Amino acid sequence: MEAQGISYPPIIERIEQVREQDARRAVACVNACAEFSTEALESGVLAELIEAVTELSTTTGGLDYSVLAQLVRRKLRPALAKLKGDTNED
What are 8-60's pLDDT values in tens digits? 677 888 889 989 999 999 999 899 888 888 888 888 888 888 888 887 777 65
| Residue 52 CA, distance from chain mean position | 13
CA distance 33 to 26: 11
What's the confidence (pLDDT) of residue 63?
66
Give the start-to-end residue ranges of the domains of the chain. Answer: 1-32, 36-90
Q: How far apart are CA 36 and CA 24, in angstroms?
A: 19
